[in-house]
Structure 1
Amino acid sequence: MIKQLKQDAALVFGIITMVLFYTLGQSWLVPLSDHAVAIGLFTWLLVTMLWCAFKVVRHADALAVKLGEPYGTLVLTLTVTAIEVSLISAVMLTGKANPLLARDTMMAVVMIVMNGLVGASLLLGGLKHSEQEYQLEGTRAFLTVITPLVVIALVLPSFTTSTADPSYTSGQQLVFGAMTIALFGVFLAMQTMQQKHYFVQPIAAQLHEQAGETSRRHLDNHGVLYHTLMLLVTITPIVLLSKKLGTVMDFGIVELQLPVALSGILIAAIVLTPEGLAALKAARNNQLQRSINICLGSVLATIGLTVPAVLTISLFVGQPVTLGLGPTGIILIMLTLFSAALTFGGTKTSILQGAVHIALFLMYLILIFAP
């Protein structure tokens, strides 16, 4: 009993923190003016969210072993993305949403994951293992779907003439939303049924069995259902508290006169922390395919679920949604997709590709401060 309580301490602390901030937090956050109070609340929220994130990775690792690839990572990416979509939808339905909210969120996810996390994973794995192998077919399948969806969602609206702003008409929204869901569904069918072997680490069968046995020895006796539910419950405080953390960060950004877009980037980075930690751990353990499954799966799930959700809400509540990026964003997105195609054009990676993606991520951050 005591051992179980210690294992679930992060979850208990996260739930208590979440309850306090959603009941009493309004009185703490609305009159926010004291710098010491702001720093204290920021530290409290950040420590809670990161503590929960480490526990999420533990449950994700257990599912990866029990279910095998790609099912283990699929549970993690779909859980995180579904809660992200719920948050964006909830903000839109309050009537206070910024029309750029969905666009900026998707842009941040694409740049953080495809450059920041991918670059860090390749660097970390390359430094430890020199070269790493992955399944070319599976990674190519990810990019085959991600590339057109990202371009249609974030680039094409800037060039259409049907509307005055970078957005789609109602008819175009319906068609694009349906097409996005259909492509995402086809990909999931391929990943989980027909060609699931494309998403498994390409190592010798004997080594694979040894790794599996080693991992199983470190697992507890809990089943798949337990770890799935615990992953879902533990990840909830991370995402819900990110809104409260955003309020504190908005105060700091205004006080320090930092770019407004920085708040969204920091929130996206924190929400993506569980997936990021899992991806980095997998790369370090020479399981690059799992790292790729997490990273590219996160981007695909975000586009595949977020776009139809926000477009549907936009149609029903009559709230405009601006999707098209500006010239700088378009160049960064196209360069990211092109670099990803080159990085995953073979069957091995090294630190060079990781360094390139890190450079692109740093360029993105610099342009936030000096556009």
Structure 2
Amino acid sequence: MLVSSVRSVVTPVAIVRLVLGWGAVVGLMFAGPALAPPVAAPLLVGALALIIGVILVCAFGVVHEAEHLARRLGDPYGSLVLTLSIVLIEVILISAVMLGPGEHSTIARDSVMAVSMIILNAVVGLCLLVGGLRHGGMSHNRTGTSTYLALIVVLSTLAFAVPAFIGRDGSYTPGQTVPIIVAVPVLYAFFLFRQMGVQADDFREVDPRLAVGTADSTDIADPDSPGNGSGRPNIEQVLVEHRAEVVLRIALLVVTVLPIVLLSHDMATLLDDGLGRLGAPVALAGVLIALIVFLPETITSVRAALQGEIQRVSNLCHGALVSTVGLTIPSVLAIGALTGQTVVLAESPANLLILAVTLLLSVATFAAPKVTAVHGAAHLVVFFVYSLALFA
């Protein structure tokens, strides 16, 4: 049983991806001095092309494992595995930058804001556009989507707006920091407890044809098998019957994601050098890094949209943002409190306006019984405006 699971999961293609990803990481460690700024233009372009190519190879590996897990576990569990694996590593990366040399008081704000705009406008907009063009209006589970958006509104407000009004110089005061460090993780933990428990059905597709597509047909075929009453095997049954495969795929997903984040970190230095020569804003580097880090989730989301699985798109995109803000904000505030660093979270008036428009548009979009390609186009225009604001 274990041997067959290993053979089915750890394929030659998966091994090649791991060798390429980790080989590139090791290679860049040794090539560090040669890539220290300023780098000759041909070497800079070549190194960036190589890094992005390896990242894309690893990203498709992550997508492959995530899709297998999603089919095996069903939503919301399958989507949650991919979301948490990427978001946790993103949080570690931001924390590592904060603990490193130099002044990084706005790194969390800039990173989370970029992620928010990319997920809520670029990725969601693209998914709604391609899905709507292919399938027309797509029905989603409004209870689950509303839950995501409720948390996104609250967490985004706590992260970017509240410090500007009750904090000091864009930061929470020491007396305000501790309650935020406690309240945000408690809210996020309560959400996960409900999502994986009694409210799990709120995050599944409303179309029965799509819902059954997320589980094994052999599991659904037996009406007498123990489950949750909706024709799906419950998560405990799946884990008992397929424990080895699930553990192996999760492990392989994580070790394939790690090179993406590590290479993205190395790529930041090269991007800063290149963008500096072009006179581009420094914030653009953060946007590009966020795009690369969330590339696996983006690919998976677009594929789900092309299949008409719009609730899975919401699970991946909105779930990723809830996890990002819910884990990043308390982590960086705790690091700031322990190390004495200032953590600036308050956004500029222009970005706060764009964020408010984004949240209002998101609520309006997913309040409708069906989402369409026009909704997607509206989100993409807002992302275009955010891109313009970067150069203002």
SS of the equivalent of 1:322 reads: coil
Q: Which amino acid aligns with 1:226?
A: L
Q: Per-residue CA shift, 1:14-39, capped at 9, x if unaligned?
A: 010011112x1321221533100000
Corresponding residue to 1:343 among 350, 365, 370: 365
Report sequence identity in percent.
Answer: 36
Alignment root-mean-square deviation, CA = 1.8
Q: Per-residue CA shift, 1:281-327, capped at 9, x if unaligned?
A: 11111111111100001110000000010000000000101000011
Structure 1, gaps ≥5 residues long: none
Q: State the Cα distance separating 1:170 from its structure 2 match.
A: 1.2
Q: Is the 8 A contact 1:145 1:300 kept in 2?
A: yes
Q: Is the 8 A contact 2:58 2:257 kept in 1?
A: yes
Corresponding residue to 1:327 among 345, 349, 352: 349
SS of the equivalent of 2:146 reads: helix
- Structure 2 Cα separation of the partners of residues 71 and 52 of structure 1: 22
Corresponding residue to 1:167 among 168, 171, 174: 171
Corresponding residue to 2:149 among 143, 146, 171: 143
Q: Which amino acid aligns with 1:169?
A: T
Q: State the Cα distance separating 1:152 from its structure 2 match.
A: 1.2
2:88 pairs with 1:66:
no
- Structure 2 Cα separation of the partners of residues 120 and 16 of structure 1: 33
SS of the equivalent of 1:117 reads: helix
2:49 corresponds to:
43
Q: State the Cα distance separating 1:213 from its structure 2 match.
A: 5.0
Corresponding residue to 1:224 among 246, 261, 270: 246
Q: Is the 8 A contact 1:65 1:215 kept in 2?
A: no
- Structure 2 Cα separation of the partners of residues 303 and 201 of structure 1: 25
2:84 corresponds to:
78
1:90-169 correspondence runs (5 A): 90-160=96-166, 162-163=167-168, 165-169=169-173
- Structure 2 Cα separation of the partners of residues 25 and 305 of structure 1: 33
2:30 pairs with 1:8:
no
Distance 1:345 1:59, change over 3 A: same
Divergent runs of 4+, >3 A = 206-216
- Structure 2 Cα separation of the partners of residues 304 and 171 of structure 1: 20
1:22-37 correspondence runs (5 A): 22=29, 24-37=30-43
Corresponding residue to 1:352 among 368, 374, 379: 374
- Structure 2 Cα separation of the partners of residues 132 and 201 of structure 1: 10
Q: State the Cα distance separating 1:176 from its structure 2 match.
A: 0.7
Q: Which amino acid aligns with 1:186?
A: F
The alignment's TM-score, normalised by the length of structure 1, stands at 0.94
Q: Which amino acid aligns with 1:139?
A: T
Corresponding residue to 1:306 among 323, 328, 339: 328
Q: State the Cα distance separating 1:211 from its structure 2 match.
A: 6.4
2:268 corresponds to:
246
- Structure 1 Cα separation of the partners of residues 90 and 161 of structure 2: 22
1:262 corresponds to:
284
